[in-house]
Structure 1
Amino acid sequence: MTMGANSRRPVLPSLLAEAGAQAARLEQVLWRARRLAETVAQGQRRQRKRGQGENFRQFRLYQAGEASSSIDWRRSSRDDEFYIRDKEHEIAQTVYLMPDLSASMHYCSRQALCSKEERALLWLFMLAEFFVKSGERVAVPGLLPPGLGRNAAEKLAAALLEYKSYPQTSGIKADFAAVGSKAHCIIISDFLDKVEDWERIFALLAEKGAHIGLIIIADPAETDFPFSGDTVFCDPESGEEVYFGQVQTMAAAYREIYQQQRQSLARQAAAFGGTLLEDETNAPLQNRIEKLERFLQRD
């Protein structure tokens, strides 16, 4: 059928309404992200008290065998660890944020406060604000090149609304090849793809000398498996449906497989020097701030 001018008119109001709803949702997420970014920044300032221009990546933990003369005793005196000033990181670094906005991230159970996608966006905007305010360059491959500058979160939100070709199929499909040498790469995903696929991504990033950070977002139903009776499960990306009767009898086996997958992912990430932060959508993101501060210090 040939689409004429008249056939497009009924579609426009629904498209405009959808765009307005998306913009309103992003505006709410942005407001929360800015508040959280400031909370994290305040926590970093309280912990560091290092002086102008210093950031959390300018120091790393002392390794056995290194010269004791390289220890920064002033920094080390504030903790129970020995720290070395990492001169490589005294200039602005590029932080690549890799959000997974695929169909599986749309999931939101009754136990959750929001969908995994909304939590991923909150992490994305908050981290963009935080890193830019810390003097770093931020990039989202496939969406925005390194830079951003002021109002980083707003620019990201506008780009997401306008740039329809951002990968929607799977977090594993992101443009990891675009990550620069010796940069910092933070992947925000539910990491439900095969661990072997992620291992290849970690190896690619490690070859570039990139520092790898994983923010693992899970819905409580994915970790607890609260289902019972006759249940139909649908793959949000392929549309495939699977029916199970008395599904509660599978709960123990499911949890064991789920934990094995998570442990395998953690081992593979650690093998390439990666750090992890786990987040469930049944708790406010504010509850993860302390963990985030430790995550940033290790990354």
Structure 2
Amino acid sequence: MIGDSSAAVTAPGDASTDALTPALRALIATLRLRPRHALGRQGLGHHPSRNRGSGQEFAQYRAYESGDEPRQIDWKLYARSDRFFVREAERESPVRAWLLLDTTASMAQADEATPGFSRFDAARLLARCVFEIAQRQGDACGLVLCGGAGLSLVTPGSGPRQRDRLRHALVSAAPRGQWPEPEVLAPAWGRIVRGDLVIALGDFFDEAAVAQLERLAHAGREVITIQLLTADERDFPFADGRRFVEPEAGESLLGDGPGLRAGYLARFAEAQRLLAARLAAAGIRHATHVIDRSPSQVLQVLFGDRAR
């Protein structure tokens, strides 16, 4: 839903809109990806990754970041270099994560109050946060972009080069078109193996997108969904008459904002309730993020100490 046809397609922000602030980096240091399939067998897995600490085979040094514990610093190296470094060690990890990002046209929507920051910008920022969580754990993370441009895939990996690959893919992507047909998605779905963790970011207004996520969950892939909504969708603040445009199908509706508000909010709340129930029935963990809020809230819900 977009109020006023002139806003039907909003260009995504530049690379600066997905910058990680110091506060976000400090939060990321406290978060963990905890797949259900890995519970009860920590330290056992099918690929090596890096973990901070001692008692394991040394892998590499990395620069100290806000949120690291002082005991992780190599003080002997500090004495020689006058810089703080943290030791990373080799361990076995069961986590292999995929970021699945909706790049359909509706992701370009922005609020009237903040036209320079779209739903897609918020999704890219969250995607970077999730990858940084995996990066700090030393776990592999990949990316699947699904939209009108078809399918784009970055194979899971870790380390600075993988960070650059994912960032380049995110900055290069632009929302357009509709959700791809199942046969277009088949190559990516074949790469996501049983036991993998899939973190999907989108508005989930496409029935086909929700059905595909259900299929992944029923096939033994663990799925987490983060639904991104605009504040205008949440509040319907329009106080005048206007044309409302559906960005993917191009359909429009002329109407009076105040006259439509009550009915819209009731239908929207019911649609949200049904979506949450449907995803829960498929065993999918689900959270909603409204783009006028800090991403820290939804990250804490899904990946904080109290996450289930």
TM-score (norm 1): 0.68
Q: What displacement does 1:143 show?
A: 2.6
Residues 103 and 170 in structure 1, CA contact (< 8 A), matched pair in contact too = yes
User: Of the candidates 89, 96, 100, which is equivalent to residue 94 of structure 1?
Assistant: 96
Supply the RMSD in Å over aligned alpha carbons. 3.2
Name the SS of the counterpart of 2:30 in structure 1: helix
* Counterpart in the other structure of 1:56: 34
Give the letter aligned to residue 192 of structure 1: F
Q: Percent identity?
A: 21
* Counterpart in the other structure of 1:292: 302
Distance in structure 2 (CA, Å) of the matches to 1:233 and 1:147: 42
* Counterpart in the other structure of 1:72: none
User: Of the candidates 205, 227, 246, which is equivalent to residue 216 of structure 2?
Assistant: 205
Are positions 1:177 and 2:196 aligned together? no
Distance in structure 1 (CA, Å) of the matches to 2:18 and 2:200: 19
Distance 1:59 1:212, change over 3 A: closer
Name the SS of the counterpart of 1:139 in structure 2: strand
Give the letter aligned to residue 135 of structure 1: G
Q: What displacement does 1:115 show?
A: 1.3
* Counterpart in the other structure of 2:155: 145
Q: What displacement does 1:191 show?
A: 1.3
Residues 184 and 212 in structure 1, CA contact (< 8 A), matched pair in contact too = yes
Distance 1:255 1:151, change over 3 A: farther
Distance 1:203 1:31, change over 3 A: closer
User: For residues 192-241 of structure 1, what are the alpha-carbon distances to aligned partners after superposition, in whole Å with 9 as ceiling and x for unaligned?
Assistant: 223xx345213320233111101011101101111133210122223333
Structure with greater proportional helix content: 1
Q: What displacement does 1:253 show?
A: 1.2
Are positions 1:131 and 2:134 aligned together? yes
Distance in structure 1 (CA, Å) of the matches to 2:259 and 2:135: 49
Give the letter aligned to residue 273 of structure 1: G
Distance in structure 1 (CA, Å) of the matches to 2:127 and 2:94: 19
User: Of the candidates 239, 248, 264, which is equivalent to residue 258 of structure 2?
Assistant: 248
Distance in structure 1 (CA, Å) of the matches to 2:211 and 2:250: 26
Residues 235 and 241 in structure 1, CA contact (< 8 A), matched pair in contact too = yes
User: Of the candidates 1, 17, 26, which is equivalent to residue 15 of structure 2?
Assistant: 26
Give structure 1 stretches of 5+ with no counterpart. 1-20, 45-54, 62-83
Structure with greater proportional strand content: 2
Are positions 1:116 and 2:119 aligned together? yes
TM-score (norm 2): 0.66
Distance in structure 2 (CA, Å) of the matches to 1:172 and 1:278: 23
Give structure 2 stretches of 5+ with no counterpart. 1-10, 46-91, 145-151
Distance 1:59 1:140, change over 3 A: closer
Name the SS of the counterpart of 1:114 in structure 2: strand
Distance in structure 1 (CA, Å) of the matches to 2:306 and 2:15: 25
Distance 1:200 1:101, change over 3 A: closer
Give the letter aligned to residue 137 of structure 1: A
Residues 56 and 296 in structure 1, CA contact (< 8 A), matched pair in contact too = no
